[in-house]
Amino acid sequence: MATTEDISWKENLILQLQERNKVQLPFHDLIVQNNKLFDAANALRNENLQLRVGALSSGVGSSSTTDVKQTGRIQHLEQKVLAQQEELTELHRRKGENAQKIIDLNVKLQDKDRQLNVKETSLLELMTINNSLRAEIKMYETSNKELENLNQMLRDEHQALHLAFTALEDKLKKAQMENNQLIEKIIKYKAKDADRMNEENDNFLKKRSARMQKELEEACRDTRGVSPEDQLSGPAFRSPLPTNASIKFDAHEGEVNAAKWSPVDRLLATGGADRKVKLWDISKGTSESRGILGGSNAGVMSVDFDSTGTLIVGASNDYACRIWTIADLRIRVSTTRFSYARGLQR
């Protein structure tokens, strides 16, 4: 089926042809009439020549009446010939004008033909561009539909992910609430344990103080085996509290949180806020470094040796305990004591 653009193009071409015919056809009748007049003039010229030849051949011996008639006829014919010559001259002039007009019209026609060819070429180019643009429009429409489908799919996926995120967020809030409750319970249990330990320590100190008070009272009452010289020689017992420091040195860059003697050697282990455990030899009355144990992620709060003195354990603020061998100063075990509580916090 022809499209609307094809129909309009054909109608435009027909209209241009009709306009060309309107310009050229009005001169067609004039040219035909001019040709007829030329033919008539030629016929009259031939007839005039024939009459002259006939008059000359008839001779001088004809009658006077015939001469008069013949002379009048000749004059009439001469006038007619003169009129025909004038008309012929006018026709020649018109023929020249018409020929010039025809030349001008041919030039205009050629110009119009060139313009028509240019427009036809431009029309073909525009039709080609139009077809290309239509194909491109179809391609873009197809791409637009695909993008709309993809956009709708992404919207559906986003909505599903949003719903899943909302559900997970609710679960997270619930888990955080449960975690906070568990932490509060753990804090309460630790507070109870601390209170219980403090109470036991207080009871132990009270009992110890009472026992010492009782022993002192009994020692004061029992003075029968003591001579006056012994009473003046000094106190009955020595205080266990130290009065002077035998060795003083800087063990760590920061605070010292823990110290422990080895059960087998004159070896002292210290733990500090610089996340290190250091070993010191005190056997010579001075502090000599025997090694540094690293690997802790927080300050070391407590250290201890095993019964053989070959292993040392350190507890730090990163919820972890680490065990080193003293011989090669290498870490052997790293464990988290409160891994269960941290799992609940996650």
Question: In the prediction, which pLDDT does 340 show?
Answer: 39
Query: What is the domain range of residue 46?
Result: 4-150
Cα-trace Rg, the chain: 69
Tens-digit pLDDT profile for residues 147-195: 999 999 999 999 999 999 999 999 999 999 999 999 899 888 877 877 7
Identify whether residues 146 and 277 lie together within a single domain: no
Question: In the prediction, which pLDDT does 151 show?
Answer: 94
Instruction: Yes or no: say if 252 and 272 are a contact pair by the CB < 8 Å rule.
Output: yes
Nearest to 88 by CA among 133, 48, 118: 48
CA distances to 64, 120, 338 from 318, rounded to whole Å, are: 166, 88, 10
Asked whether the CA dihedral 127, 133, 139, 142 is positive or negative, the reply is negative
Residue 196 lies in a domain: no
> Number of folded domains in the chain?
2
Query: Which range, of 116-130, 179-193, 296-310, 325-339, averages the lowest pLDDT?
Result: 325-339
> First-to-last CA distance in the chain?
72
Instruction: Yes or no: say if 299 and 316 are a contact pair by the CB < 8 Å rule.
Output: yes
Identify whether residues 146 and 259 lie together within a single domain: no
Residue 114 lies in a domain: yes
Tens-digit pLDDT profile for residues 42-87: 788 778 777 777 666 665 444 455 666 667 777 777 788 788 788 8
Tokens read off for 295: 């690997």
242 or 146: which leads in pLDDT:
146
Domain end call among 109, 134, 150: 150
- Is the pTM here over 0.75, yes or no? no
The secondary structure of residue 210, as a DSSP letter, is: H
Residue 319 lies in a domain: yes
Q: What confidence category does residue 239 fall into, taking pLDDT thresholds of 50, 70 and 90?
A: low
Tens-digit pLDDT profile for residues 101-134: 888 888 898 899 899 999 999 999 999 999 999 9
Identify whether residues 262 and 126 lie together within a single domain: no
Tens-digit pLDDT profile for residues 96-107: 888 888 888 888
- Other CB atoms closer than 10 Å to residue 88's CB: what's the count? 19
Tokens read off for 203: 């009871």
Residue 179 lies in a domain: no
Residue 109 lies in a domain: yes
Provide the residue type at 140 as one letter: Y
Domain end call among 104, 121, 150: 150
Residue 205 lies in a domain: no
Domain end call among 97, 130, 150: 150
Tens-digit pLDDT profile for residues 271-293: 999 889 999 988 887 888 888 89
- Other CB atoms closer than 10 Å to residue 296's CB: what's the count? 23
